[in-house]
Amino acid sequence: MTNHVVSLIRSDRAATWQEILSDLITDPQELLRILELNPDTNPYSLEALDKFPLKAPRPFVERIEKGNWHDPLLRQIWPSVFEETQTEGFVADPLNEEAFNPLPGLLHKYHGRVLLTAAPHCAIHCRYCFRRHFDYQANSPSRTQWEEAFAYIAADSSIEEVILSGGDPLAISDRQFNWLLQQLASIKQLTTVRIHTRLPIVIPQRITTELVRCLAESRLRLVMVVHCNHAQELDNAVIRGFRDLSDVGVTMLNQSVILKDVNDNADALIDLNKALFQHNVLPYYLHMPDQVAGTEHFYVTDQHATELIKTLHASLPGYLVPRLVRENPGEPGKTRIA
Ligand SMILES: *Cc1c(COP(=O)(O)O)cnc(C)c1O
Ligand code: SF4
């Protein structure tokens, strides 16, 4: 085969999720060029980038409307100068999670379930992220620490469910994920593994045949909670991933964060939940944003959020209305608002 033919074949092949992950957009100038936006009309904060760099996967950026500073997807990734605003009550660790961290990578806050930080990083940096100040390196378990986490779970018969979180738990390879799932399946009292992930939305290529196979073959009940905030985040590739997962019996749920000027209006939330349901995903939580330093420009008041939920109740069947919640340190579960 000539080199010419080889390179043709290469460029014909769709990029794998790992290739997409190693080619994220991290330079704001590049993002602006792709989106045909003039930087002078919306300056970005270099300081914000130092603290929490820009990270955007290309398949997600393709869904952003060109030339529109108000695009709801762009707003979620753009390092705004407002991140430097210091507001009383907005702090680095509002949930005081360090207090519930018995082992590296393991949070045990609620009865019956533990949360494992399966991967130290995400495929995207969401500017409103409540874990943006979280020390992932300190919470990125080594093999030995994994063994300790499994032993901790096995020793507490009240734990029935393991929640894989992150970072993004699907940022690990299929091989590592399969290993993790098998280790969990060997803990007798566990019935359920739940995966909290944004990867099926931002890089839908992550839903590989191998991943679907390992989920299909596990003895455990599997729940996937994706994180989608706006109907515009759904495209054909994302929808195909949802279908592949629900076809093998994975229970598909969505959680969103209510975000000012992204989805804090009834039409956006109605469209989102209807669209998700058409593709086998039910709403789970609508989170109030936590009061994390640097995210105040996304903050929505309880009163506004409560009114939105009332409008949703008046417009949708009950099963399409997400539960509006907030996390309060010290509570035995998420707190319902409205
Ligand atoms: C949110 C969360 C859970 C899961 O709570 P559910 O109400 O079951 O979704 C578990 N552990 C931690 C640390 C959490 O923050
Ligand atoms: S994917 Fe989730 S954890 Fe990662 S940056 Fe976004 S909100 Fe934060």
Mean pLDDT of each 10-residue bin along the chain, 338 residues long:
47 88 96 94 86 96 97 96 80 69 87 93 92 66 88 97 94 96 98 98 98 98 98 98 98 98 98 98 95 89 96 98 91 88
- Judge if 285 and 322 occupy the same domain: yes
Ligand nearest to the CA of 287: 1
pLDDT score, position 10? 54
- Judge if 68 and 113 occupy the same domain: no
- Reading the block at residue 275, the tokens are 């669209």
pLDDT score, position 96? 66
Task: Check: CB of residue 226 under 8 Å from CB of residue 200.
Answer: yes
Instruction: Name the residue among 49, 29, 42 with its Cα closest to residue 68.
Output: 42
What whole-number distance in Å separates Cα of residue 92 and Cα of residue 69? 28
Is 91 part of any domain? no
- Reading the block at residue 247, the tokens are 């076809």
Is 90 part of any domain? no
User: CATH number of the domain that 297 lies in?
Assistant: 3.20.20.70
With H, G, I as helix, E, B as strand and everything else as coil, classify residue 338: coil
Count of structural domains within the chain: 2
- Ligand 1 interacting residues, C-beta cut-off 6 A: 107, 109-110, 113, 115, 163, 333-334
pLDDT score, position 1? 43
pLDDT score, position 149? 95
- Judge if 39 and 146 occupy the same domain: no
User: Which residues are paired to 197 by β-bridges?
Assistant: 226
Domain boundary pick from 44, 62, 84: 84
- Judge if 9 and 154 occupy the same domain: no
- Judge if 203 and 246 occupy the same domain: yes
What whole-number distance in Å separates Cα of residue 326 and Cα of residue 316? 22
What whole-number distance in Å separates Cα of residue 180 and Cα of residue 182? 5
pLDDT score, position 2? 45
Substitution candidate for ligand 1 out of 114, 115, 139 with most atoms within 8 A of CB: 115
CA of 121 to the centre of ligand 2 (A): 9
pLDDT score, position 166? 83
- Reading the block at residue 66, the tokens are 């060109």
- Judge if 8 and 113 occupy the same domain: no
pTM: 0.92
Task: Check: CB of residue 113 under 8 Å from CB of residue 161.
Answer: yes
**Domain that residue 25 falls in:** 3-84
pLDDT score, position 254? 98
With H, G, I as helix, E, B as strand and everything else as coil, classify residue 110: strand
What is the chain's length? 338
Task: Check: CB of residue 167 under 8 Å from CB of residue 119.
Answer: yes
- Judge if 290 and 187 occupy the same domain: yes
Q: Which atom, in ligand 1's list, is nearest to the CA of 95?
A: 15
pLDDT score, position 11? 61
- Judge if 8 and 35 occupy the same domain: yes
- Judge if 15 and 151 occupy the same domain: no
